[in-house]
Structure formats: structure tokens, C-alpha cells
Amino acid sequence: MQAQRSLPMFPARLDTPSDELVSHAQAGPRYTSYPPATVFRPGFGAAQAAAELAALPTDPLALYCHVPFCSQLCWYCGCNVTATRDRSRGAGYVDLLIRELDLVAAAIGRRQAVAELALGGGSPNFLEIHDLARMVTALRERFAFAADAELGIELDPRDTTAPQIDALAGLGFTRLSVGVQDFDPEVQHAIHRVQTVEQTRAVVDRARAQGFRSVNADLVYGLPGQTVARLESTLAEVVAFAPDRIAVFGYAHLPHLRPHQRLVERSLPVPGLPERVELLRAVLDRMADAGYVRIGLDHFARPDDPLVAAMNRGELGRNFQGYVIQRTQALLGCGPSAISDSGGAYWQNAVDLETWTQAVTAGELPVARGVALDADDRLRRHVIMRLMCDGRLGFAEVAERFHLDVAATFADELRQLEDQHGDLAVVDRAAGTITATPLGHHLIRNVARVFDRHTPAGSGGSPTI
């Protein structure tokens, strides 16, 4: 555990000229896992996942359940989604998800302890109340939820009803994440997602009245038609709700991978890199002005939020949901495309709803691909995650944890940092540290990539700014 820090590590504001950031921008992984999901292979399937499940430690783990339906498709969407207005599909889906839970529980071989549950998607609020209740009851029957387990859910304010929120509170949910993206009407038209401030405020107010402890708002910068003025206006509206946490993700425009994203180019241009930098600058300024503390690259929290204390203790983690308080060592994902992390391996369920359905119906774990981590992967994962979360790496902690000489093991990487990336990170061999510079914090994915032995130079992903 690291010493208590009194200052946020990632610079609250962006003082670097735009062209300097643009010159460093490259495509690359977001490092929500290491190895990145692009490395997962079909050779890791149901049998390997079953072996990992059977060997899970008894410590409480985190659960994620994916609900793959939305009533319409947002054109910028990067998630695994089936757009349908037929809500009756939710009941059959919950039946299948419960069958998957049975398969997972059988492979584990005991009633595994759980400290956290997250429902995401898609839109979990696509499910009718009784189907949400069936899902949560089934989860509680198959897993031993800690008395203080945290239950969180993503909600689309456009079609979340007050009775749904009341029911979720009754089921024990206390954390809520609402999608916002941008409130500007032209931007909303361009991304095919029209959502009013009032709809959003109604969900937040109802949740708070029902005792939800934590409200998170998700925004996106880099959307078509976004300008600094429009984004600042959205940020002001969001800050007025006083969310406990705000995440502002950079839009990943990858139409070669997600063809529907070509639709966003129809009406308004997607901002280029210089414009993205100015949008990011505005985000950081407005968040700092509003008193939010920057957490890592793209999260912000009120100063009294537990995420800030975790950051100051060096106990931030990073997974597919972004920056989190590192409470558990394993994460199990259920539903199509969900990713699991046993600590020793990652695996992903079949992305396609039909393929996932066939596997579950046949009584097989619906695993499509994955990767078992070797000793080198585990070491590099730790290094990359500490850099992504802390912007800093202490050699002594790594040496103690992995029983090795960091300077000798990473001789090539340290030389690469010193010779090629001195403006992004400072290697202090005497002190035994790597510390990102202010510029390097904003480009921490570039620094982390030096330790990535799987991602070929120049390979795809979203821009690092």
C-alpha cells in the first residue's frame, strides 16, 4: 500500500498547447485490461473458463450482468447492443441469463461470496420490473452477497420510469449511472439520441429520494458538432445535478469496426484532434471550477467521494467499467460480450446474442475467447495498471510483490522511456521510480504502452487524447 497523498496525481487542468498533445496522439488500448481484449483468442474457451471458475479464491468477487437491449440505437454507440422496441424480449433474456448463472455457479462449485454487482448494457432499464426482480433474486440465490454489497445499475433516462427506480431501491440498488453524453440539441440529433435535461433530472431526483447513495453521470467529448461552448453548457447542466461522480470519455470513432458510426458523419463533422484537445481542456477547466477532483484520465468525483480517498491511498483499480475502488480480485461477467477476470485469465462471452443463446441453451458456458496470463503478463499488468491509476510506479513495491529487480527486468523499457519519451515520464533510477510528467499524465496510455508486449506499434484503438 502506498503512502497517503494529499494532491490528485493527474493535473486538474490542461496547460499544454494543443499542437504538443496532437503530436503525441496515437491509436492504442485504453488499458481497461492487460493484455487488451484484442489479444483474447478462441483457443481459450468454455473448458478453460470452467477450470478458472473452479479455482477461484473464496474472497468476495464482483459480478457484472449485461443487458444487451436498447429501445433504439445511438449512432455513436460502442457497446454490444440489440435495438428493439419489443420489451417482451426481456423476459426470455432473463430466463437465459439465469441459466448462465446456473452454469457459472455449478463450475465454481460453491455459493461464491460477492461484494459488488453491476448491471450494464445496453440499457438494464429495458427490462420490466418483475424481470429485474427475477434476475436479482436469482443472483442472490446463487451467490452469497455480503451484507454491505454494493449494487449499481446503468440507466437510460429517456425510458426509465419512476416505478422502476422505486423497485430498484427495493431490490437493494444504491448506485446509479445515467447516460448524458451531450445536452445540445444539434449534437443529440447528430448522434440520434434526444434526451432532455428534465428527463435526466427526474431520474436523478427520484433516485436520491429513494435513497440511492451515489449518482454518476456519463458524458462524451469529441462527438459530431460539439464545440467548447456547447460542451460547457452541458457540463453546467450536469454539475447542477451535483452528481457524486462524472465520467467524460473521449469518443472512439471507429466506423471500420462499428459501421453504424458512419451515421454520425451524416449531418455534422466529427471533431479532429486539435478540436478534441480544446474540448478536453474545457472539460478539465469546468470540472476543476466546479470543485470536482480528477481521477485518472477521465473520471471526476466530489472531494468527499470514496473514490478520491481510494486514489489518495493508492488503491484505485481499473477495469471495463473505468476507474474503480479496488475491492475485489476477480470479476465475473454474464450475458453476451461480458468479460470476466479471474486474476489469472480473462475471457469474453460470445458477443452475438444468437451465439450466446445457443451455448447457454445447450448447457455450455458461452465463452468465445480469452487469454491465460503468464508470469510476464501478470507483472506487466500490475505495472500498466499502476501507471494508468497513479501516473507513477515505485520499483520497490513491484520488486517486493514479484521478487525481481525492476531495473534489470525492464532495462529495455526504461531505456525507451529515457531515450524516446523523456517529455512524458521521468525515470529516477536512484529513487526507483517512474513518474509521468504533467504532459505524460494526459498521455498516460502512451507511457503504459511502453510496457505492453502484445500490442503492435501502430495498431488500432481510440486516440490517446
List interacting residues with ligand SF4 (CB under 6 A).
Answer: 70, 73-74, 77, 79, 81, 121-123, 156, 179, 193
**HSE toward the beta carbon, residue 456, CA cutoff 13 A:** 3
Query: Smallest distance from the beta carbon of 119 to ligand SF4, in angstroms?
Result: 13
Least distance from ligand SF4 to the Cβ atom of residue 192, Å: 8
Distance CA 379, CA 427 (A): 18
- Least CB distance to ligand SF4 at residue 80 (A): 8
From the CB of 389, what's the least distance to ligand SF4, in Å?
25
Choose between 349 and 437: whose C-beta lies nearer to ligand SF4. 349
| Sign of the C-alpha dihedral computed for residues 114, 116, 119 and 121 taken in this order | negative
Compare residues 66 and 441 and give the one whose CB is closer to ligand SF4.
Answer: 66
Whichever of 64 and 451 has its CB closer to ligand SF4, that residue is 64
Reduce the DSSP state of residue 268 to 3 states and report it: coil
For ligand SF4, the closer of residues 220 and 316 by Cβ is 220
Tell me: cis bond preceding 122? Omega within 30 of 0 counts.
Answer: yes
Closest CA to 439 of 280, 324, 221: 280
Residues 123, 128, 129, 131, Cα dihedral to 10° = -90
Cell numbers at residue 192, please? 440520434
Q: 121 with 66: CB under 8 angstroms?
A: yes
Q: Report which of 305, 326, 309 is spatially closest to residue 61, judged by C-alpha positions.
A: 326
The C-alpha atoms of residue 233 and residue 299 are separated, in whole angstroms, by 19
Nearer to ligand SF4, 160 or 319 (CB): 160
Q: To the nearest whole angstrom, how small is the minimum distance from the Cβ of residue 67 to ligand SF4?
A: 9
CB atoms within 10 A of CB 104: 21
Cβ closest to ligand SF4, residue 72 vs residue 227: 72
Select 81 or 384, whichever has its Cβ closest to ligand SF4: 81
In single-letter form, the type of residue at position 47 comes to A
DSSP state of 120: E
Residue 265 exposed, middle or buried by CB count within 10 Å (0-12, 13-18, 19+): middle
Q: What is the nearest approach in angstroms of ligand SF4 to the Cβ of residue 276?
A: 19
Vertex 12 angle, CA 234 and 185, to 5°: 10
Q: CB nearer to ligand SF4: give 80 or 357.
A: 80
Minimum Å gap between C-beta 79 and ligand SF4 is 4
Residue 88 CB, nearest approach to ligand SF4 (Å): 18
> Quick one: which of 234, 253, 256 has its CA closest to 243?
234
